[in-house]
Amino acid sequence: MGIFKRGENWYLDYYAGSRRIREKVGPAKGEAKAALDVRKAEMRLGKFGLLPKTSIPSFEAFAERYKKRFGS
């Protein structure tokens, strides 16, 4: 997690789960630091909205579901 400047604007750079996220904050470095603190708190509280991973069915389970749905 960090902040960086590109051109005239400051950005946040962090990972949410396995996703890399970059957010434009604005021209003030203090705003970027505050926004990063907010994101860290949101992640700690679980309010970031990360979706739980879904499980991948085995081939046998997939084949059974396919047979039930499409016959044959």
Task: Specify the pLDDT at position 22.
Answer: 94
Helix (H) / strand (E) element for 55: namely none
- If you search the block for the tokens 């996703």, which residue do you land on? 19
Q: With 0-12 CB in 10 A as exposed, 13-18 as middle and 19+ as buried, what is 51?
A: exposed
Task: Specify the pLDDT at position 9.
Answer: 96
Helix (H) / strand (E) element for 63: namely helix 59-70
Over its length of 72 residues, how does the chain's per-residue pLDDT go in tens digits? 899 999 999 999 998 877 888 999 999 999 999 999 998 888 888 776 655 667 888 999 999 999 999 986
The model carries a pTM of: 0.62
Task: Specify the pLDDT at position 52.
Answer: 62
CA distance 59 to 27: 52
Domain-by-domain residue ranges, the chain? 2-70
